[in-house]
Chains A and B, each alone.
Chain A
């Protein structure tokens, strides 16, 4: 930096520590609430240190479910969320790498049209067309199925654009070289393009996994059976009883469980996450 002043550094540390405090505080409170029994949480004066009901709460949340209304145990919802997030992330990677390959490496009639058909989808998030999409899914008999949860959300252009951009940076000499070696479109794709795309795929995977895991409105609409619920929609349903009856300690345990997988992805795959985030926004 230009000049190095001691007070400047101290100020920076103070501001950043305050920032981290704001960021961590709500999660800390939820974590604490998930270790107390229902009475302690509800009386409005919960201690700020962990209690002794941790194992009991998490065990009940994951395997048993709440006691005051019939509820689905969270273990199953975690499974549904996982399938949905993986389906969206992998599905998007597969369909978009194929279409980007076609658009970049082939010349054919209607190539630009196909590209624009895909490109326009960038503009409309699923939230603006929820009921018509719901109706399509209902007509296709895909309510309460994984296909219904996954397919409408992989219809988007981000992946195709990302791979297209990446393919454009690959030197033409690579294609010419593998042509001279007698490679056709399949061999070139499998032996040259796929290995080169691994980092791009990883970046896209991280972003799409988080996106899929955190979906709320869509699963809320098209799952009617409790057995198909995802964890993010499940938390809300734990709280829809009257306030006195809601089991907040279980809801908070569920909230923590719902956060762990995507947050772990961000923390442990930080570089890929940052790359994916920056590149999918271009």
Chain B
């Protein structure tokens, strides 16, 4: 009546093959995703790391009367086109600031032109044959080399790639994140406390819940439209500022913080609440003194992740005008500013190829910060993880 074990085993061959195929296919999919991750990071590092170095050349700088009026006169004619015009432009100011300099000639390492930099890095460039020969000669003499690009980390934006830096954008990011956190954290935590600990289970509460889930999934650009129409046009918050950017991002981050806080509150077992009620605490005292402290690590983790998400956001900030050109470092929450991802965006649109590496360099910094933030969140969770 029944088949024997051997017969069945024989029949199963094909089906086992299919099963194995599924295993290999699914493993391959995961591998593909991993491979992409590796490819992506390698590509970004390869493109971005050169931005941390910048070509400098050794020149004789003549701080003459003539140079203070016509800066290019400060260097010999044969290397005039190899020196950064940005550096040349600063000469009159330098002479003004330090009158002692006037009339002296110094041998200095100065910033090279962006094209020289690209040439030294073997990137495509517009340097003429003749100029290349001169650069090669200077390299041979040890008068031209790639050095660590401190300026990239300390200066603001510039139209000249060799002068451009991320500091202004980084500062803008800090201000914007500060505004975001100050608004989103208390409101988010309070909302979560209400929903988790106080709210009656009725239609309205369910509506709020669905609404929060929906907000978490709404395209970020729509938050930008809200920022533009309501914050800027209606309330008159100044455009392009960390204030309006931070407010917009706060609304975006809110659902993340709410959801994380609710999860954290829910993981505190009811026995703790019952014990606190048992000794006569009111509902608010139970939450404040017993539940919140236990949920804090989870809340912090969620907030950091939410903040990291907001930090990488660009689209809504473009809409509220935070893509300003900010050459100077400094400014407060009501001054026009830009943020790191927006800086990346503006640089990526620059036609000069030297900006490609600046863009990638900015990306490397941004990714480093984000990874550090997320790692902090993970460590925090590991450290305080508690199983009830």
Task: Tell me whether A and B are bound partners.
Answer: no
Q: Which residues of chain B have a CB within 8 Å of any CB of chain A?
A: none
Q: Which residues of chain A have a CB within 8 Å of any CB of chain B?
A: none
